[in-house]
Chains A and B, each alone.
Chain A
């Protein structure tokens, strides 16, 4: 009798303990809506299923991204919010327009912007990305010098603008005048380069989900950029990541903001069309 009672209690304690332990490990489980996956918008996409870099991150990293107070990228977004309202002052002391002067409430005016870039610019006759659009506005309408690529100001403003599109599915235009640039971006993606002779597809199309040493390969999507990378201990742009990838296969990288990288950015955003914007994402 006593044995029965004892074993019953033991079972209760053990099951409570097991439940308590497993409950504290907060992992995004499949199908709980936090996996950040999507079906590609374009049927011609070689990927059958789109998985954001979020899916490949460790649970602690995911938790960091989802909490606005924990997400280190949000500090840059807050700086961007200040820059949005700031009016650049010329040498003569004249105050010029701020972003807000023309675009008013960013939650309305910038809602779709982050999900649509890069776009074709008819004056420059090439594709421009969000960073370059911001600098166009600065030089043309704010009469202020352009921000340096990868400068804190440009990163903050870009992250702020793209953050307005948080949750909006990426959808870029690849037809019309954008078509030849899209094709160039696609050619770049599949071209073998560097001493290690690898193209983007070798890791991100043929081997995503597998481990290369201790790194888990993702699909190489762009929906979370500018991204806070734990490796960088800071926010960084997509072009900075491109440079890193080029260097990892022992190839000569291009300059930040180069046409090759903007075309590749267009191609990548097409490959990820359907995924939601996650800027500022947190990745390893």
Chain B
């Protein structure tokens, strides 16, 4: 090949290479592309938070279905799942704790008592509190049960997984709604 042609092809190749890989380094440009990628790769269901002056809530079910309150109760007492009793007390469980102290006993006192919680909050607000309580109370100790973003140094087995999946959130919510 003639020298000029070689040179021209080399420059063309270089520019193609640069433009092909540019989206990777672009922080803001090609936004549609990166958002579409994120939507495909994120394992969490999308949900909408309604933020008014008086309240903040997720009015719609995460799965589109209603949850099962009995399953919700089991998730609340199970240490490897919700482990809610680590911090919260449910007065109805105190009777059960006498027969089954290992599962229902020794309830924690870090968070508020859950009795009557369905009278204090709307279902949508409760759903938001379960999904990410920090949206309500930024300084809270309560973990976000349906979030995987902006978490620091998550341990291997728990990476990219929320504490509870979407249906489990709905199940816990269904149980909480029985606490009037």
A contact set with B: CB distance below 8 Å: 191-198, 202-203, 206-207, 210-214, 246-247, 250-253
In the assembled complex, the CB of A201 is this many whole angstroms from the nearest CB of chain B, namely: 9
Q: With A198-B141, A202-B141, A206-B141 as known contacts, state yes or no: A252 contacts B153, CB within 8 Å.
A: yes
Comparing B13-21, B45-53, B114-122, B154-162, the segment that makes contact with chain A is: B154-162
In the assembled complex, the CB of A138 is this many whole angstroms from the nearest CB of chain B, namely: 32
Separation of A196 and B134 alpha carbons in the complex (Å): 12
Chain A binding surface, main DSSP class:
loop
The residue on B at minimum CB distance from A193 is: B152
Q: With A212-B87, A213-B86 as known contacts, state yes or no: A195 contacts B110, CB within 8 Å.
A: no
* Chain B contacts with A in 135-180, Cβ cutoff 8 A: 141, 143-144, 151-158, 161, 163
A213 engages B107 (CB within 8 Å): yes
| Residue of A195, A197, A250 most packed against chain B (CB within 10 A) | A195
Contacts of A252 in B (CB 8 A): 153-156
A195 engages B151 (CB within 8 Å): yes
Contacts of A192 in B (CB 8 A): 152
A191 engages B152 (CB within 8 Å): yes
Separation of A243 and B161 alpha carbons in the complex (Å): 21
In the assembled complex, the CB of A104 is this many whole angstroms from the nearest CB of chain B, namely: 45
Is the C-beta of B106 less than 8 angstroms from some C-beta in chain A?
yes
In the assembled complex, the CB of A126 is this many whole angstroms from the nearest CB of chain B, namely: 21
From B86, B155, B163, give the contact of A247 (CB < 8 A). B155
Separation of A233 and B83 alpha carbons in the complex (Å): 26
Selected A-B contacts with CB under 8 Å, 9 pairs: A194-B155, A197-B151, A203-B141, A212-B110, A213-B108, A246-B153, A250-B158, A252-B156, A253-B155
Contacts of A198 in B (CB 8 A): 141, 143
Contacts of A194 in B (CB 8 A): 151-155, 158
A195 engages B163 (CB within 8 Å): yes
Contacts of A203 in B (CB 8 A): 141
A251 engages B152 (CB within 8 Å): yes
Is the C-beta of B109 less than 8 angstroms from some C-beta in chain A?
yes
Among all A-B residue pairs, the 10 with the closest Cβ atoms: A214-B106, A202-B141, A195-B158, A196-B143, A193-B152, A252-B153, A250-B158, A213-B86, A195-B154, A212-B108
B154 engages A207 (CB within 8 Å): no
| Residue of A192, A198, A247, A250 most packed against chain B (CB within 10 A) | A250
The residue on B at minimum CB distance from A213 is: B86
Separation of A212 and B152 alpha carbons in the complex (Å): 23
Separation of A51 and B83 alpha carbons in the complex (Å): 28
Contacts of B156 in A (CB 8 A): 252
* Chain B contacts with A in 70-107, Cβ cutoff 8 A: 79, 83, 85-87, 105-107
B154 engages A251 (CB within 8 Å): yes
Given A247-B155, A251-B153, 12 more A-B residue pairs with CB atoms under 8 Å apart are A194-B152, A194-B153, A195-B154, A196-B143, A197-B134, A197-B151, A197-B152, A198-B143, A203-B141, A211-B108, A212-B110, A252-B153
Contacts of B134 in A (CB 8 A): 197
B151 engages A213 (CB within 8 Å): no
In the assembled complex, the CB of B96 is this many whole angstroms from the nearest CB of chain A, namely: 16
Contacts of A251 in B (CB 8 A): 152-155
In the assembled complex, the CB of B140 is this many whole angstroms from the nearest CB of chain A, namely: 8
